[in-house]
Chains A and B, each alone.
Chain A
Amino acid sequence: MVGPIYIIALALGLAFFLGFFGKSLKTFSGFVMLAGLAGMTFISGQWLMAFVDGSATTQEIFTAGFKPPFSINLRMGIEEATFTFMINVIGLLGGIYLFNRLKEVGNSAMSVFIVLIMSLNVIVMTRDIFNLFVFVEIGSIATAGMIILDKTSKSLQAGLKYLLATGVISGLLLIGIIFAYYFAGSLNIDGIIAANLMASKAGAVAVFLIIAVLVLELKPFPANGWGLDVYESSNPGFGAIVSAGTATAGLFVLYKVLPMGGDAWYQYISIIGLITFVGSNLVGTQQKIANRLLGYSSIGQIGLVMTVIGLQPILGDAFAFIAFALLLNHFLAKAGLFWISGIIKKENITDWSALRKNSALLIMFVIFIFALIGFPPFPSFFGKYELIMSLISSDNIWVAVVILIGSFAEGIYMFRWLGHVLKNENSEEEVLDIPWNKFIPIVLVTVSLLAAGFYSVPFVAGANYFYFVPLAFILFLGLIDFLPAYIKNTVSIAGMGYYSWLLYPLVEGDLMRTIFFAIFMFGGILTLVVGYNKSGKREGFYPVALMMYAGLATIVTTDNMFGFFFGWELMTAGSYFLIIRGKRSKPHAYSYMLFSVAGAYLILLGFGLAHASGQTQALIALKDISVLPTLAYTLLAVGFMTKTASLGLHIWLPGAHGEAESDVSPMVSAVLLKAGVFGLMLLFLYMGEQTGDTLLFILGWVGAFTALVGNLAASFQEDAKRMLAYSSIGQLGYILFAIAMMTQLGWLAGFTYVINHFLFKAILFMVVGGIVVKAGTHNLYQMGGLIKKMPLSFLAVLIAMITMAGLPPLSGFAGKWLFYNAVILKGWYIQGVIVFFAGTIAFLYAFKLLHSIFLGQLKDNHRNLKEISPSILIPVYILIAGIFYFSAFPQDVLEPIGNMLANYFPSTLEWAADGNAVTILSNWNGNAVMIIIISMFVLVLGYLWLITGKTQKLEQFNIVYSAERPFRPETTHVSHNMFAGLNKAIGFLVAPGITNFWNNVSKMVLDFAGVVRRLYSGNGQVYAIHIIIYIVVFYLISIG
């Protein structure tokens, strides 16, 4: 095996000899440099392999055969091997990426580059603190050299600021080192640790200086202006090296020297890390310049890893995995992002839509962003989950909260950026120039990121390799994305069918899960069928749709919290991409994502508390949470309510659902919203009525007002799809109210609403979506009279609307009947009345939608419209068959559910032999009602037909109209502001108060960030002063 010292020898030798090659041999020099880097990678990789398979033991290397303190001491253990390997890999890939640029600048640049990588290697391996100083300095000088790889005015300024800052920092380090030596009598890190300098005040100062300076090298917020400038102005290829390589080495050094300081220092480091993570990400929210934004994110992520290093004593066994997962994630993703930035060459993130010209690059960009925010299946997801669990188990909930706040802040700008990339205008002329040497490194880090996620599985309780099966299928769909839509649609449906069959045994016997499973999977397949009417390729649609369904399937089949959270995040990611596909969806998808991420974090905290009390990942841990139960249940409930769009958390929904594509709306509305309901139901069952008394009472009121406001707002909408979206808010309000009652009847009503809402909302969104595409407008008042063109659509919408309004004989009434009984038995009278009021308001928009689209006056530009496609009508009529079955035989559906619920609640509903449902208050026979109403209808229709005889069709404008004959449909079609009177009377209830509230919140956050970032005045001296102040404040807090 090649000794680790040869890494240094190889690099130094090469750097030296590169100087001899003439200018004519530039390409050759370049390959020599790469070969050298490959050699370094090989050596460290070889050691890493040996350590992993156990064939090597930790090596200590002493210069000239002396023992410390008289020699310089390097170490090669598994940690060093891993970190040098990472650094050399980033060096090699970075070298490949920068190949052309380095060649242009010349051999000297290559020398500097290789020296930089070498210095990072030594920083990792050395056990000698002065040697550390020397190579930190060499690294700084090399960095200062690389900053001006692109010699611009900005990079020159950044370089000088960098030199000034690191000059001050290293001076302080030197003082620390010399005093450490003075007091410890050794320069060896282990020697200094053994000397326990913290015992004396002077020794503590020495340790303070060393550690504080190493922290400063990691650019802690806010003393990091110089670092940000480097990220912003230097070549992004070099930014990748700094962000991935230098920071990795720096973090390892911190990890290495931290034992000098003992327990107290771990705490300081975790606090510094937290401040950096939150502060940097918060300030980043105002940033528009891509590379600087990446700088903020880098610093934030490094702060997070710093926190984890500081938390080492708390995390115990889990430390190594968490720290490494988070670091590796940052390492790969940030390198990838910087490299992409180097290809895009756009300064402002709003111009990044150019990325769409290359879908491979776009996908990798997306992967990096999601990896950074901590979505599955990337290592940070596993790491963060484990981190939060460990923190809460060890009673450090506040640390967990702060970490999640920082993570959320990062989401704020990352998803804004992603939105710009996915949706902004794109000029056609520009082409994206992607040389292979820039592309390959990005691909490699992407693959590594995915692989790292896969290999994280054994480290997290509850994680399962099975979760990667659907992901593999999604990957496959991504690979066949070039095929026409109908083929992919068929493949997707087949895949979902097979997956459902595969998973069904997991839910079999558990009726609640079976119902949701059926809604998710069967509903998913039906909504996919609608996709057959789309022509072309629908690039990128199927992978994300299937991702959402895979997440939903995981949620409903898993038996542990990790699996649930995995599925939850997968579903969130998939649905985000589905939603953002809509033409004007950018802001809506953005707010959807922010609410979802925040909600997910609340759930994560709740799970953490459950885990802390149950010491298990099984979902049963949610039962009898003993650690802060009220908080835990509230967090979970609010978290789930972000998905059910309950009042206060609903503002994302109308836009997200309303602007989505025609077949996406039913997916996200009829199917996806039920995930939140499932979560709430699961939660409530585990929580029980006793524990959650107050919470349930509040949620009941929230549900009631959600129903009212949702329905009222729906009736004032002019946009067909937004009306349906608001209606979803209202319906989900009913469901929340129903299940918050925690009685058998309440839950039965809840289930009835879940099933009905799935059926009718899918129908409505499918049909209306199809019509909106055909009619070319979302606006109700621009449609009209389409019944004559689309009778089947009309019938479908009519049936769906009758169901929604809860009119007998259709199944909606089952929900109303159960509701009345449940409300009276529960005693929630006033809330109940609000809900019933909301129910009557549902008639208003039911009528408005039917009237405005299908009835009234046909518009001139719609005279040639035809019925919507059979690929929409077939699933729609399948769902209608479902409604009729449920309506005519409610007992078949409700009785098993009632029996299942009797396990949890006292049974208050009996079924007579003839299908009569009986409570102590009331009775209802759905079957009889259906028979009687249909018979009456037939009789009366026959009677009318008898007395009427043959009729002749009137022409469109042949109506009584104040003795005039109208000739413009626009002036005769009553639709716009249809319920003006109601609006005048109670419209104030739907004033956009909540939207304004959230707007103000976000404005406050952004304004705050805007104020804070003025610290970064741009003056190099100010940055140096920041460093001094930081040291002083830090000193006062830690020692003084």
Chain B
Amino acid sequence: MDYSIEKFLWAFLGLFIILNWGMLMSALMRRIGAKLAGRIGVPLYQPWVDLLKLMSLKTWLSHGVMYYIGPVFRLVGGVGMFLFMPVIFGIEIWSNYSFSGDLILLLYFQSFGMLGMAMGASESGSPHAAIGISRGLSQFAAVEVPMTLAVIAIAIQHQTFSFSEIMAAQQGGIMNWTLFTNPLASIAGMLAMLGAMSHSPFNLVKAPNEIPIGPPTEYHSSFLSVLRTNSAILHVVEAALFMNLFFGGADSWYMYIIKTFFVYFISVFVGMVFPRFKIEDSIRWFLKWPTAIGIIAVIVAAYW
């Protein structure tokens, strides 16, 4: 266990990189979306401008203590996910604090920020927030089923929950990726990812135009800047999680950026094609096909 300043600084550097990559990536996605719609789209530096603007706005208003620390929970959740996962395969300085746990820790830590944020948003008393959260939680529960099945299939396949071991097992060529060694688990996991990323058709939590923007409705200025920071980090980290599980991980920053971009792009792409589900339909969908595939994946992994 290493709690040294040096370790901290390396981790902080990594965090800084993926924060910026996350913002760049979101600008890229917005531009791609705009192109599809025949618009020009935002300039690539737009997220930085937004963030700086939000940070510099004077914040005067708060709904209470929980409301105040909700974004803290959220950002801790995002940062924590980053810290508990090794960034680059095989390089000690980029392993972050992954010694404290592994895939199981990450799966549960996902919810830490989500629940904290939910508490904060709830305190505002905005019905939109509560509605968004109730949908989000319901959908999350359903998404977790194929996700868990995929994780278990992988754990059976590799006999480990450790990221570095899962990544190690996928080294040495594209055909060693879980995507090809365990395609069913990968499909289940990637379908779950669509839910986890909360893009259309599963963007029920924020559901723009339906319940203003859901939980963050009451958040503004610096609170919102924290949330924006987090979402930039989280997009990359979530993509990295799936990259590590199914796409062989990354042995360099170069690969990291390319792979996270494409993983993230899958969810955005699907979102551009499909309209939004109703909540019960979304739940049914996840509990139907992805779950069935996941079960088969587990059975195959266990008994083949």
Q: Which residues does A use to contact B, with CB under 8 Å?
A: 785, 787-788, 791, 794, 798, 802, 805-808, 813, 816-817, 820-821, 823-824, 827, 829-830, 832-833, 836-837, 840-841, 843-844, 846-848, 850-851, 854-857, 914, 916, 920-925, 928-929, 931-933, 936-937, 940-941, 943-944, 947-954, 956-957, 959-961, 972-975, 978-979, 981-982, 984-986
- The smallest C-beta distance from B282 to any residue of chain A, in angstroms, reads 8
Q: A954-B61, A985-B283 are in contact. Are A940 and B75 (CB under 8 A)?
A: yes
A29 to B141, CA, bound (A): 83
Q: Which residues does B use to contact A, with CB under 8 Å?
A: 1, 3, 55, 58-66, 68-69, 71-73, 75-76, 79-80, 83-84, 97, 99-105, 108-109, 111-112, 115, 118-119, 122-128, 130-131, 133-135, 137-138, 140-142, 144-145, 148-149, 152, 155-156, 159-162, 212, 217-218, 222-223, 225-226, 278-284, 287, 294-295, 298, 302
Q: List 12 A-B contacts (CB under 8 A).
A: A785-B125, A808-B101, A823-B152, A837-B141, A844-B137, A920-B159, A922-B160, A925-B101, A928-B100, A951-B60, A972-B127, A975-B130
A985 to B148, CA, bound (A): 20
Q: A844-B138, A947-B222, A985-B284 are in contact. Are A974 and B131 (CB under 8 A)?
A: yes
Q: Which of B109, B126, B144, B218 contacts A840 (CB 8 A)?
A: B144
Contact, CB under 8 Å: B125 / A947: no
A972 to B71, CA, bound (A): 23
Q: Across the two chains, which residue of chain A brings its CB closest to B125?
A: A857
- The smallest C-beta distance from A969 to any residue of chain B, in angstroms, reads 8
> What residues of chain B lie closer than 8 Å to A791, measured between beta carbons?
65
A932 to B106, CA, bound (A): 14
Given known contacts A923-B101, A959-B125, A985-B138, what 14 new A-B pairs fall within 8 Å (CB)? A788-B64, A807-B109, A813-B108, A837-B148, A940-B76, A947-B55, A948-B222, A949-B59, A954-B63, A959-B218, A981-B135, A981-B283, A982-B138, A982-B280
- The smallest C-beta distance from A702 to any residue of chain B, in angstroms, reads 20
Q: Which of B3, B80, B212, B295 contacts A931 (CB 8 A)?
A: B3
Contact, CB under 8 Å: A932 / B104: no
Q: Which of A846, A922, A951 contacts B68 (CB 8 A)?
A: A951
**3 nearest CB pairs, A to B:** A981-B279, A974-B130, A855-B122
- The smallest C-beta distance from B98 to any residue of chain A, in angstroms, reads 10
A687 to B238, CA, bound (A): 45
Contact, CB under 8 Å: B101 / A929: yes
- The smallest C-beta distance from A770 to any residue of chain B, in angstroms, reads 20
Contact, CB under 8 Å: A932 / B138: no
> What residues of chain B lie closer than 8 Å to A808, measured between beta carbons?
101, 105, 108-109, 112
A41 to B41, CA, bound (A): 108
- The smallest C-beta distance from B197 to any residue of chain A, in angstroms, reads 17
> What residues of chain B lie closer than 8 Å to A916, measured between beta carbons?
1, 99
- The smallest C-beta distance from B205 to any residue of chain A, in angstroms, reads 12
> What residues of chain B lie closer than 8 Å to A931, measured between beta carbons?
3
- The smallest C-beta distance from A807 to any residue of chain B, in angstroms, reads 5
Contact, CB under 8 Å: A824 / B152: yes
Contact, CB under 8 Å: B83 / A922: no
Contact, CB under 8 Å: B144 / A836: yes
Q: A806-B108, A923-B162 are in contact. Are A973 and B125 (CB under 8 A)?
A: yes
> What residues of chain B lie closer than 8 Å to A855, measured between beta carbons?
66, 119, 122-123, 125
- The smallest C-beta distance from B65 to any residue of chain A, in angstroms, reads 7
> What residues of chain A lie closer than 8 Å to B109, measured between beta carbons?
807-808
Q: Across the two chains, which residue of chain B brings its CB closest to A957?
A: B125
> What residues of chain B lie closer than 8 Å to A837, measured between beta carbons?
141, 144-145, 148
- The smallest C-beta distance from A867 to any residue of chain B, in angstroms, reads 15
A944 to B75, CA, bound (A): 10
- The smallest C-beta distance from B140 to any residue of chain A, in angstroms, reads 6
Contact, CB under 8 Å: A974 / B134: yes
> What residues of chain B lie closer than 8 Å to A821, measured between beta carbons?
104, 161
Q: Across the two chains, which residue of chain B brings its CB closest to A975?
A: B130
> What residues of chain A lie closer than 8 Å to B282, measured between beta carbons?
981
- The smallest C-beta distance from B109 to any residue of chain A, in angstroms, reads 5
Contact, CB under 8 Å: B287 / A985: yes
A978 to B135, CA, bound (A): 9
A833 to B301, CA, bound (A): 15
Q: Across the two chains, which residue of chain A brings its CB closest to B122?
A: A855
A646 to B172, CA, bound (A): 49
Contact, CB under 8 Å: B159 / A856: no
Contact, CB under 8 Å: B138 / A794: no
Contact, CB under 8 Å: B66 / A961: no
Q: Across the two chains, which residue of chain B brings its CB closest to A923?
A: B102
Q: Which of B83, B118, B145 contacts A936 (CB 8 A)?
A: B83
Q: A807-B109, A940-B76, A961-B126 are in contact. Are A798 and B226 (CB under 8 A)?
A: no
At the interface, is chain A mostly helix, strand, loop or mixed? helix
A366 to B133, CA, bound (A): 50
- The smallest C-beta distance from A428 to any residue of chain B, in angstroms, reads 45
Q: Across the two chains, which residue of chain A brings its CB closest to B221?
A: A948
> What residues of chain A lie closer than 8 Å to B105, measured between beta carbons?
808, 813, 817, 924, 929
Q: A850-B119, A948-B223 are in contact. Are A829 and B302 (CB under 8 A)?
A: yes
A7 to B39, CA, bound (A): 116
- The smallest C-beta distance from A909 to any residue of chain B, in angstroms, reads 14
A981 to B148, CA, bound (A): 22
> What residues of chain A lie closer than 8 Å to B222, measured between beta carbons?
944, 947-948
Q: Across the two chains, which residue of chain A brings its CB closest to B140?
A: A840
Q: Which of B69, B141, B282, B295 has the most CB of A within 10 A?
A: B141
Q: A802-B115, A922-B103, A928-B99 are in contact. Are A940 and B130 (CB under 8 A)?
A: no
> What residues of chain B lie closer than 8 Å to A925, measured between beta carbons?
1, 99-101
> What residues of chain A lie closer than 8 Å to B148, measured between beta carbons?
833, 836-837
> What residues of chain A lie closer than 8 Å to B58, measured between beta carbons?
949
Contact, CB under 8 Å: A805 / B283: no
> What residues of chain A lie closer than 8 Å to B131, measured between beta carbons?
974
> What residues of chain A lie closer than 8 Å to B71, measured between beta carbons?
944
> What residues of chain B lie closer than 8 Å to A829, measured between beta carbons?
152, 156, 298, 302
Q: Across the two chains, which residue of chain B brings its CB closest to A983?
A: B280
Q: Which of A807, A953, A982 contacts B111 (CB 8 A)?
A: A807
Q: Across the two chains, which residue of chain A brings its CB closest to B120?
A: A855
Contact, CB under 8 Å: B298 / A830: yes
Contact, CB under 8 Å: B79 / A940: yes
Q: Across the two chains, which residue of chain A brings its CB closest to B114?
A: A843
> What residues of chain B lie closer than 8 Å to A850, measured between beta carbons?
119, 122
> What residues of chain A lie closer than 8 Å to B302, measured between beta carbons?
827, 829
Q: Across the two chains, which residue of chain B brings its CB closest to A936?
A: B76
Contact, CB under 8 Å: B141 / A960: no
Contact, CB under 8 Å: B115 / A805: yes
A832 to B104, CA, bound (A): 14
A791 to B280, CA, bound (A): 35
Q: A824-B152, A840-B141, A951-B62 are in contact. Are A932 and B298 (CB under 8 A)?
A: no
> What residues of chain A lie closer than 8 Å to B97, measured between beta carbons?
928, 932
> What residues of chain B lie closer than 8 Å to A820, measured between beta carbons?
104, 155, 161
Contact, CB under 8 Å: A933 / B283: no
A594 to B25, CA, bound (A): 63
Q: Which of A833, A923, A940 contacts B145 (CB 8 A)?
A: A833
Q: A808-B109, A979-B138 are in contact. Are A940 and B72 (CB under 8 A)?
A: yes
Q: A816-B104, A940-B75 are in contact. Are A851 and B130 (CB under 8 A)?
A: yes
- The smallest C-beta distance from B120 to any residue of chain A, in angstroms, reads 9
Contact, CB under 8 Å: A787 / B64: yes
Q: Which of B61, B130, B298 has the most CB of A within 10 A?
A: B130
Contact, CB under 8 Å: B108 / A807: yes
- The smallest C-beta distance from B105 to any residue of chain A, in angstroms, reads 6
> What residues of chain A lie closer than 8 Å to B102, measured between beta carbons?
922-924
Contact, CB under 8 Å: A956 / B125: yes
- The smallest C-beta distance from B191 to any residue of chain A, in angstroms, reads 15
A981 to B283, CA, bound (A): 8
Contact, CB under 8 Å: A824 / B72: no
Contact, CB under 8 Å: B104 / A933: no
- The smallest C-beta distance from B38 to any residue of chain A, in angstroms, reads 31
A593 to B282, CA, bound (A): 42
A403 to B284, CA, bound (A): 50
Q: Across the two chains, which residue of chain A brings its CB closest to B133?
A: A847
